[in-house]
């Protein structure tokens, strides 16, 4: 990677880090990235799509259309480490490294702008990955530009520094947040039989979870994690009349996530009927499974080997989720991890900060794919 391009991308990363914005609020971030590309490139078309944008290098109508994607939202966390580029906004910080992903894609755009490419190269900058509703805003990009293939990476701690880590098939699990609300009738705590209390219904759901996620009934990893139970109020003279149980459901295969969801819905409705309760269900943070196409994954392997990077074949999918899977439902593509180091602080922790050197690793990997 050209040293001037690396320094420009690193400076951009620090500026993004200082100005973190949460999912679907990334107005400054998007505009700053656009201004950076306009100031440093001459041959790219930049298309502003409102909450997101993309840039394009056009090699010709008869060429393949290859896309690379980066996310740019931050997390609702405080910056507690002392770095010169620390977040200027309390309660907001780039603790997942999306500032680094965007700086990598911008640095890659500079390289392609200056060196060219045999195919049409698209640079997709996406909002709101953390909440799972960013990629779905951008999916028309795939069809409108007839994208033949799309690639992305995520930095990942616990993996060797600068290593490229990949697997065929499912790379990250499908998941969603699920809130089940029950509403009954209040009663005096001395006469609970006069009301309808949701406590037993909610307890029965918790008790039934092991049955739903039994390995004997599922082909892949499947989890149902209780994240909150809230029943009644702190009022010792009143029997509880309303409650909610919040779950994160997660599965290696999207079809099994759908079945788990349906089982929970059916059981909740049965409980509501049995105990005379009203029931309502709400979903949040919905992520598809991110599945790599084998042909595209092979291009990542080839590029990593050609660049002399350590290539690691993952033994199983990561349990976390990523909305990149929305793109690979529509076209070929692949997703990989670039290692932060085995002992480096984990993403989504206060001690974490993106390692600037991974910008060059990501750019070189993308260049290898683009010219492979």
d(CA 115, CA 42): 11
Question: Do both 125 and 197 map to the same domain?
Answer: no
Percentage with pLDDT > 90 across the chain: 100
For range 242-249, the mean pLDDT: 98
Q: Mean of the per-residue pLDDT values for the chain? A: 97
- Do 99 and 354 meet the contact criterion of CB atoms below 8 Å apart? yes
pLDDT of residue 34: 98
**How does residue 372 score in pLDDT terms, banded at 50, 70 and 90?**
confident
Query: pLDDT by residue (tens digit) across 290-323?
Result: 999 999 999 999 999 999 999 999 999 999 999 9
Residue range 59-73: mean pLDDT, rounded: 97
Shared domain for 279 and 307, answered yes or no, is: no
Domain that holds residue 60: 3-171+289-370
- Residues 64 and 61: their CA atoms lie apart, in Å, by 8
| Strand pairing category for 174-183 and 164-166 | unpaired
Write the pLDDT tens digit of every residue in 75-113. 999 999 999 999 999 999 999 999 999 999 999 999 999
Domain boundary, last residue among 247, 266, 286: 286
Six-digit token pair at 232?
A: 């009644």
- Residue 31 pLDDT: 98
* Three-class secondary structure of residue 19 per DSSP: coil
Number of domains in the chain: 2
Q: What pLDDT digit, counting tens, does each position of 189-228 carry?
A: 999 999 999 999 999 999 999 999 999 999 999 999 999 9
Same domain membership, residue 353 and residue 235: no
Asked whether residue 279 falls in the same domain as residue 298, the answer is no
Q: Tell me which DSSP letter residue 346 carries.
A: P
What element of type H or E holds 17? helix 3-18
Averaged pLDDT, 57-69: 97
Same domain? For 295 and 359 the reply is: yes
Tell me which residue of 210, 160, 121 sits closest to 358, measured CA to CA: 160
CB 109 within 8 A of CB 125: no
Contact, 300 vs 166, CB < 8 A? yes
Domain of residue 115, CATH code? 3.40.630.10
Size of the chain, expressed as the number of residues it contains: 372
CA distances 160 to 155, 167, 337, Å, are: 11, 16, 10
Please state, in angstroms and as integers, the Cα–Cα distance from residue 235 to each residue in 196, 200, 278, following that order: 16, 19, 22
Query: Is the same domain home to 83 and 30?
Result: yes
Single residue among 286, 317, 345 that ends a domain in this structure? 286
* Residue 152 sits in the same domain as residue 31: yes
pLDDT at position 344 over 90 = yes
pLDDT above 70 coverage of the chain, percent: 100
Q: What token pair was written down for 227?
A: 């994240």
Spatial distance between the Cα atoms of 99 and 13, rounded to a whole number of angstroms: 5
pTM over 0.85: yes
117 neighbors 370 (Cβ within 8 angstroms): yes
Exposure pattern of 180-210 as b/e (b: 16+ CB <10 Å)? bbbebebbeeeeeeebbbbbebbeebeebbe
Q: What is the 3-state secondary structure (H, E, C) of 168-195?
A: CEEEECEEEEEEEEEECECEECCCHHHC
- How high is the pLDDT of residue 317? 96
Beta-bridge partners for 237: none
pLDDT confidence of residue 82:
96
In this structure, the answer to whether residues 108 and 252 fall within a common structural domain is no
Residue 13 sits in the same domain as residue 52? yes
In angstroms, what is the C-alpha Rg of the chain? 23
Residues 181 and 324 in one domain: no
Report the C-alpha gap between 274 and 304 in whole angstroms: 58
Residues 146 and 208 in one domain: no
- In angstroms, the CA 27 to CA 15 distance is 14
Q: Whose structure tokens read 């499974």?
A: 289
DSSP state of 196: B
> Quick one: which of 270, 276, 280, 271 has its CA closest to 195?
276
Residue ending a domain, choose from 237, 260, 286 = 286
**Element (H or E) spanning 69, and its range?**
strand 65-71
Q: What is the CATH number of the domain that holds 178?
A: 3.30.70.360
Answer for the pair 327, 215: CB distance below 8 angstroms, yes or no: no
Same domain, 137 and 276: no
């Amino acid at each position: 990677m050209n040293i001037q391009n690396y320094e420009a991308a690193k400076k951009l990363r620090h500026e993004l880090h200082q100005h973190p914005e949460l999912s679907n609020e990334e107005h400054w971030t998007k505009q700053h990235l656009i201004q950076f590309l306009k100031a440093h490139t001459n041959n790219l078309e930049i298309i502003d799509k409102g909450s997101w944008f993309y840039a394009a290098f056009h090699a010709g109508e008869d060429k393949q259309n290859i896309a690379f994607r980066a996310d740019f939202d931050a997390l609702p966390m405080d910056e507690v480490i002392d770095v010169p580029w620390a977040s200027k906004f309390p309660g907001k910080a780039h603790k997942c490294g999306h500032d680094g992903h965007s700086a990598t894609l911008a640095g890659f755009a500079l390289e392609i702008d200056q060196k060219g490419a045999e195919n049409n190269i698209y640079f997709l900058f996406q909002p709101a990955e953390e909440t799972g509703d960013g990629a779905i805003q951008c999916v028309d990009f795939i069809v409108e530009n007839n994208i033949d293939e799309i690639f992305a990476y995520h930095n990942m701690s616990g993996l060797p520094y600068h290593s490229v880590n990949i697997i065929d098939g499912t790379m990250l699990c499908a998941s969603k947040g699920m809130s089940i609300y029950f509403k009954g009738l209040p009663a005096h705590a001395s006469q609970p039989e006069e009301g309808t209390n949701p406590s037993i219904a909610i307890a029965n759901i918790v008790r039934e979870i092991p049955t739903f996620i039994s390995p004997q009934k599922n082909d892949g990893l499947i989890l149902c994690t209780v994240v909150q139970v809230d029943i009644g109020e702190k009022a010792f003279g009143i029997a509880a009349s309303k409650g909610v149980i919040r779950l994160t459901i997660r599965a290696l295969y999207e079809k099994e996530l759908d079945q788990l969801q349906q089982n929970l819905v059916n059981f909740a409705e049965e409980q509501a009927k049995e105990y005379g309760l009203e029931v309502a269900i709400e979903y949040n943070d919905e992520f598809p499974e991110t599945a790599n196409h084998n042909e595209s994954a092979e291009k990542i392997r080839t590029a990593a080997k050609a660049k002399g990077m350590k290539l690691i074949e993952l033994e199983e999918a990561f349990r976390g989720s990523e909305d990149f899977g929305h793109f690979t439902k529509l076209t070929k593509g692949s997703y990989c991890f670039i290692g932060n180091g085995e002992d480096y602080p984990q993403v989504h922790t206060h001690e974490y900060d993106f390692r600037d050197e991974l910008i060059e690793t990501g750019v070189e990997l993308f260049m290898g794919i683009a010219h492979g």
